Structure formats: structure tokens, C-alpha cells
A and B are shown apart, each in its own frame.
Chain A
Amino acid sequence: MSSSASPTSQPNSSPHIQSLHDHKNFFWDKLHLSERILEQVLSQALSAGGEYADLYFEYVSSTSLMLDESLVKSASQGISVGCGVRVLSGERTGFAYTDDLSLDKLIRAARTAALIASGPATHPVAGFNETKAPSLYPIAGATADADISAKLALIVRADVAARAFDPRIVQVRASFNDELRRILIAGSDGTFASDTQPLARMSVFVLAKDEHNTARGTSGGGGRVELSFFEGDKSPEHHAREAARQAILQLNAVPAPAGDMEVVLGPGWPGVLLHEAVGHGLEADFNRKKTSAFSGLMGQLVASPKVTVVDNGTIKNRRGSLNVDDEGSPTQETVLIENGILRNFMSDKLSARLTGCKDTGNGRRESYAHIPMPRMTNTYMLAGEDEPADIIRSVKRGLYAVNFGGGQVDITNGKFVFSASEAYLIEDGKITRPVKDATLIGNGPEALKYVSMVGHDLKLDEGIGTCGKDGQSVPVGVGMPTIKLDRMTVGGTGH
């Protein structure tokens, strides 16, 4: 962790400006980059014309620890370093990357990306203008700095707690993964940003077995946090007991029902509904190309008036939060749907340039070897006024789903699915039996029109979400209060 500049050497800078210098210094000191090199490479990137070029330098160190059958069976560490060069010319993107940061290799990548344009050279603006960014996560003291034995202690505790929960817990796997991603972005429009992004996640997977059945349970959490985050209510014991509780519960689960019914979704991770039903469909690239089921619906009713959905990359310590996005733009809170009306798309620089919409700081990429595109950060529904208990009481026969696996959406026809991993039948207003895993399916622009009740219990997820788009994975968050949908299709095998 670089922290070479002393606070007093920058008399007029606030703490967050100070941190910017720290992020940048790593690239100057360790990777021998300089503003002059960046300018030189950007000039080459625009040597065949083009309206914009940017460089994305990345240095990621990651650690992965796994406890399995009560043994630390696997430990690994990795370093990934490289630079992606992008050139925009109208709707065209030229892209090249290199994992060798020597000047000749950077220039070669820049000249390769430059070939997307075909005209006289254009010139980067002189000088860089640093993006002012908040400090949403720890710089020093993130988990990457912590002693490895302290991380091992966490997964050992998870193993012990899961096995102690119930003698029917027969297998426990606990893992701790963290990374420190340092990025530096320089654009031909003078964009200059750097950041150091910690990310940690702990996961527990268990199997429960009785004389008849075997069942699984999982729990996990994390964020852009210090190691102390994993004490208190997000402790290894919490996740171990949660995974074990789910697995034991599933031992006696009955088949989920099949067909249309009332569905109540619990708070937190079930917000994956929003990510699939509306989130992807509101990414600006799909709407610029008119390939989204939401294209042309701006200003129209796409959800019940009780529904307000935001994407917010500025929440402290969250997995989906960023000080700056991967194009060097500040992140923000963007209202996507306000009282049921579609208000905004999530955009990156390219879609903002081409459509005139605002760049909402949603330009993200998996790594230097990937092209940025509009992606979600933390996407959630704002709280309503209903009492969660009243919501359940209002259901005659339906499903109460509190935990989910992944989901998926077809952007173009709007059909989306998400798979419940912990759900119960509601009969005559009461939660009765647990049911087995089942996929729920709906139609994005229609599904949220059936939201008839919204609880006051907004909760964000535990910090485990990873979103895939065009083969690129990025960490995201979701959240939701308890809600009731008057109609949704439940894909079980029962009655």
C-alpha cells in the first residue's frame, strides 16, 4: 500500500484529494509511469483520428483461502497487471491491451487500437484534470493488508460453528477471498482518475444429511471493508449458522408449487428481482441500440406507483460502490424508476456522447482486458409504508421467498428468471411449509406493475453479488424491502 505523500505537504487539499495522490503514486513509483508517458501513449492512440481515447491501467493482487473438511486445503495468491487502450470514433470502439507496461508495448497497443479510425491525427487536450472523488472505502487497513492467519481464523471459526449447529451438518466448506485493485485512468479529454479498491468476501457452504435426504445451504457476505467487518453481526458464526439453518430446513422441504400465484419477497438479496426485471433493461447501451424491452418507455409507467428504484454507487463500503467508475467518472445515485415512472437510464461515456444523456458514472469493466460498458452498482427499491407482517397476512395462497440464487434476463423480450433457494408456502395468511428450490419467471416491463404492497424494511444484501454481461463479471449490490407481487409464475413441480 503506497502512502508516501504526507498530509501536510498538500496544504489546501481535503483528505479525499490526498488519497488520490496516494493511488496515483503507486503507478508512478512501482510501475514507472508518468504523466508524460500517458500523454505520449494517448497521442499514439489518436494518431489515426478518433474523438476520444483512454488508457486504463490496473494492478490487482488477490488472495483465496479455502477450508474444506476442516482442513485448509487450498490457498492461492495472484497478481494481474496490464493496460487497456480504447479509441472511440463515432459508434466505433478500437481496443487493445497489454500485460507488459513497457513504453514500446504501450505504444504498440495504442497504435493497434488507433486503427479503428481512419483520418488525420487528432490531439489529446493538454494537461490532466483529476476527478474529485469521495473515499467510500478503507485505503490502508483493508483486508488485503491483514495478516493471513487472521483470515484463516475466520474460516476456521465458520467451520466450527456450522458443525456445532446440528449433528446433521456433514460437510462444511468455508472460503475467504479478497483483492486489492489499483486503477489509473487517463483520457484524451483530460480525464484523470486513480483509485484503490479493496474487496473481500467470505462464503460458507454446508451439506446436511438425515436418513432420507441431503440438502445444501449457503451464506456469505463482505464488501469494500476492513477485516473488522467480519466481527459482530457479519461474523463467521453468523454465516455458518445461516447456511446450516437453510440446509436443515431444506431436509424437510416439499416441492414448490407450479403456476401463477401471489408472491411475497423478503428484504435484501431478493432485490435480485430488480437487477434482472428492470436493471439490465435500463442500461443505456441497450436503449441506444433500441434492443431493450424498455426502449422508448422513458417517462412512462413501467411499475406500480409504489415502486421507486435507484442505482447508487456511492454507499460506503458496499460491494457495488466505487469512488470513480472505470472511465474515471464519479459515481452517483441515479433514480431509475420514480413512483412507477421510468426516469433515467444508467450510462457510460460512449452512450452519453452518442445519445446526449447524462454519464451517470456506470461505465465499468471486468479488467484491463475488457471494454467498459454501462453496468449497475448497487440497485435497490426504496422503502414503502407497509408492515411486513401485514403483507404476509394479506396472502390467501402464495409463496414467500426470502433467499435466491442467481437470475438471468433476455433484454430484448424482457423475460427474466431468478431462482429461490429458501421459500415457504403462505396459506391463509400464514407461513407454513418450506419448499424446494424453484425458478420464478416474469416479464420485466410488466412484473413490477403487480407490486401491491411495499414494506418499510429496506435491506441491502450481504455483499455477495456478481453480475455477468457480455462475458464480463463485476461485483454488484442489490436491495429491497419486503414486497408483494399480486401475480408471478412459480416454477415448481407441486400443487
Chain B
Amino acid sequence: MATQALTSPADITTLTTDVIARAMRAGATDAEAVYREGDEFSVSVRMGEVEQLTEAGSRALGLRVFVGNRTASTSTSDLSPEGIDHLVHGAIALAKVTSEDPFAGLPDYGTFGQLDPKQHDLGLFYDDVYSLPPADRIEFARRTEAAALAADTRLVNSDGGSFNASTGVRVLANSRGFTGTSRRSYCGISVAPIATEPDGQMQRDYWYSSALSLKNLDTPESVGAEAARRTLRRLGARRVPTQKATVVFSPEVARSLLGDIMSAVNGDSIYRGASFLTGKLGEQIAGENITVIDDGTLPGRFGSGYFDGEGLPTRRTVVIERGVLKNYLLNTYTARKLNMHSTGNASRGLAGAPGIGSHNFFLEAGEASPQQLIADAKTGLYVTSIMGFGVNLVTGDISHGAAGLWIENGELTYPVEEITIAGNLKDMLRNISGIANDLLFRSSTSAPTLRIEGMTIAGA
């Protein structure tokens, strides 16, 4: 079904323009509308049989109004005339109960803009994600699972294989003349096989591939094989004693660590003093080997976009350069609070004030191979997954459940589980002793394999 936009581009523009005009007539001094629509297809196959098939489309409208320095927002999926009337008058009424905030407001005139797709085609939309007939989509999911289960006789069960695809349109428009339209496509396959140990214990892991275009997806066979490898290597996991140790973070776990850094440079936490990096701009916070970038202008990447959630052009922002903290990630509000300029990192949901989001947030690759990082570690933990929410950005303390493989004499040996790894991000940033060359942009936040010295492992 829904492979076409539900609403024509002209109709969407009429809708957002009309909503802004109505808000202004109703007493707003500025207004901003966001329209989103999307459709999704997903199929999961378990043990060779179709388990779930979903196909649907949806759309919704959000409105943010300013009445002087007061602001409020409303959203609705009811696009009937009554629904939109409620949206507009609800927002104005709500704004009147909020406080005067001198920092509130749309971005300044003259700051709006977007990358020119003619000069800078980001390649974010491919309609080929829906080009397969339904039977072939199911076959994608089935093949991914089958490839995983065929890899080894110990793989006897599964949480299923999946194929999913989606497309979406987002329109942002405001009373200061900005209108931007962004179209995106997405597709992915994944599988989570389950391996059984002789004593009956089970292990599960997964692997996936996702892309903006079907042609950039890994094959079901390679995804299945990788999922099998990841699952099998967990079999027979044991605990290790409590100790201080070197920890090598696989790219998947390093990425989560980088996500914590992203949260710590989020302007919202910075101006409140709720981040351990507050007030550290210009300081050496990490080793000279560390450079962290946020870049919304990279073609074909998940985090790229032509404009941010407030209608400012996206850009490349150096966050940490050779260990020195260079920039926070800011939207208009947090930039005004800090007497700085927005970095084009506003993120806008349907409802509420814009937050802050990264684009492609990554740690620059080093030169060593991941194997070299492990070999040089001599003894320690290679961590392949972490669990839980044990991050305190105020203090920088982190503590996670972890699983992985034990490193002995520079080689991966037996699997490890039911342990924790803990440290403080301030120390960890300084103790990164190795950065591998395996940076891949598999999602919007990405990191290569990293080795960090002096972490605490709690175990047996």
C-alpha cells in the first residue's frame, strides 16, 4: 500500500502555511508548524514461518506559538477542520499560562537556511525501499534467519529474522519565512538466533544491516552469518574475578560510550551545570589522540539533513579536537543562554520545545587494527555488549552490566558474562590508549574499536 505520500507536497505547504496564518491571527507573535507523515512495512519470520506482518501509514501536525516571550506547543493526528482549530486555539491559550522567558523565541532573522540539494545532494531518499513485492520482502527476512540457523547445529532456536522499510516526509515552516521539506527512506534486516549449550543454558545475540537504499543493504546471508558468529562465541560464558583491567570496547559498545559524550556536550545540560563537561570549553579533556566530530552534511549517512529542527542549515562541528573541548552542541535557546551561536543541532519532535540532537556524531578512526589493540592489551576484557542505564552525566560516573571475551596473552580466549564495568568518563577520556581503524557509519553515532586503561570490573 502506502508507497506514495499520503498528502501532496502542495497540500502540505497549504496546510502548514494556513496553520501559521491562523495562529498569527489568533494572537501569536511568531509561530512554527511541523508536519510529519510516514509509512512503514515490517515483517518478522521465526523458525522459517511468518510471525508478524505490519503495514501502515500515519501523519500528524505540530504547532509551536510565541506570544511575546511566552511559548507553548500543541500536536494532533486529527487533521479535520475541528482538529486544527483545536490545535491553534489550544496553543494560544496554553502560551498565556507560561512564563515570560527573554531567551525564548524563534531563531533570529537571517540565520535560517538549508543546504542546497543541487550543490550538496545528501541522498537521503530512495523509493527502492518499497520496490520489492511483498513475497520478496518476506523472503529477505526468511533468508536472514535461515542463514543464521544454518551456521551451526547448536543454533536451534531464534527470536526471528526481520525486514523493515519506511519512508517519511517532514515539513517545517515558520512565520519568519522558513519552509523546508525533508524526505527520508530507510530499510533494514536483522536476526537474533539462539544457541543452546549442552547443559541447556541459552545465549542470544543479533546482527543487522540498515541503509537508506535497498542497494546498500548487506546480504541476508552475511548478516545471518555474523549473527551466528556473535551468538556462538557467547556459549560457555563465565565470570571473572573483581579487578582493575584494560577494557577494549567493540565498535557497538564504543558507540554507546560516544553517545554518553554526546549527552555531556548537549547545551541543555551545559547551561544548567548538569554535565561534567560544563565550563570545560578550551580545556584538554582527553588525550591528544581524540577527535570527535558532529557532521550533518555527509552524503548518504543516517544523521545527515538539510536543515535542523528550527530551520537552520546543518553543518560540521568539531566537538573535541586532539583532546581539547572545542564546541558544545546547541540549539537557539541554549545558545542564547550561553551567549553563543546555535550549532544547528535543534531537534524537533511533534510536541514540545526543540531539544538538541546530534547529526553524524563520531570519533575519528586511528591507524591500528582492532586485532592490534587486543594484542597490545596483553590481559583484559574485550566487551561486546553492555546493559543498563548506569550513566550519571553530572559526575561522569558510569557502571554497566557487561559481556564479552577475556583477553589473555593478547588473544581473545573464553566468553565472559554477569560482570560489570565501571569508571568515570573524565578519567576514561584521558585513558584511551588505542583507537582502531574500523570506523563504520552503521548508525548516526559511530565509533571505532577503543581501548581504555584502568577500568574496574566487578565479578566473582
Seen from chain A, the residues whose Cβ lies within 8 Å of a Cβ on chain B are 64, 71-82, 91-99, 108-109, 112-113, 115-116, 148-149, 152, 170-171, 207, 209, 213-216, 256, 258-260, 289-291, 293, 369, 371, 405-413, 415-419, 436-439, 441-443, 489-493
Contact = CB atoms under 8 A, between A and B. Distances in A.
A369 B59 CA distance: 12
A212 B351 CA distance: 38
A291, A412, A437 pick with most chain B CB within 10 angstroms? A412
Interface stretch (B26-34, B66-74, B120-128, B320-328): B66-74
Interface stretch (B246-254, B295-303, B384-392): B384-392
A73 B389 CA distance: 28
A80 B60 CA distance: 9
B455 to A, nearest CB: 8
A152 B74 CA distance: 17
B145 interface: no
B159 A289 contact: yes
B74 A77 contact: yes
B389 A406 contact: yes
Contacts of B153: none
Interface of B: 1, 46, 49-60, 71-78, 83, 86-87, 90-91, 94-95, 97-101, 104, 134, 157, 159, 194, 201-204, 234, 237, 242, 272-274, 276, 350-353, 387-390, 392, 394-395, 397, 399-401, 403, 417-424, 456-460
B72 to A, nearest CB: 4
A491 B399 CA distance: 6
A81 B202 contact: no
B350 to A, nearest CB: 7
A100 B69 CA distance: 36
Contacts of A91: 46, 49, 51
Contact of A74 (B60, B90, B98, B204): B98
A93 B51 contact: yes
Nearest to A404: B389
Nearest to A82: B77
Contacts, number: 253
A109 B420 contact: no
B39 to A, nearest CB: 11
Contact of A71 (B75, B99, B242): B99
Contacts of B388: 406-408, 417-419, 439
Given A93-B51, A99-B58, A290-B157, A216 B204 contact: no
Contacts of B458: 258-260, 441, 489-492
Contacts of B98: 71-75
Given A489-B419, A491-B401, A75 B159 contact: no
Given A413-B417, A437-B397, A75 B390 contact: no
B274 A73 contact: no
Given A91-B49, A109-B56, A112-B56, 11 more contacts: A75-B94, A77-B91, A95-B55, A97-B58, A171-B274, A213-B395, A291-B194, A413-B201, A413-B202, A439-B401, A492-B399
B394 A258 contact: no
Nearest to A78: B75
11 contacts: A73-B104, A74-B352, A76-B73, A93-B52, A96-B55, A213-B395, A260-B459, A413-B201, A417-B387, A417-B420, A491-B419
Contacts of A64: 351-352
Contacts of B459: 259-260, 489
A258 B77 contact: no
A78 B101 contact: no
Contact of A92 (B53, B71, B97, B194): B53
A95 B71 contact: no
Contacts of A94: 52-53
Contacts of B418: 415, 441-443, 489
Contacts of A216: 274, 392, 394
Given A171-B272, A216-B274, A415-B387, A79 B420 contact: no
Nearest to A290: B157
A259 B400 CA distance: 13
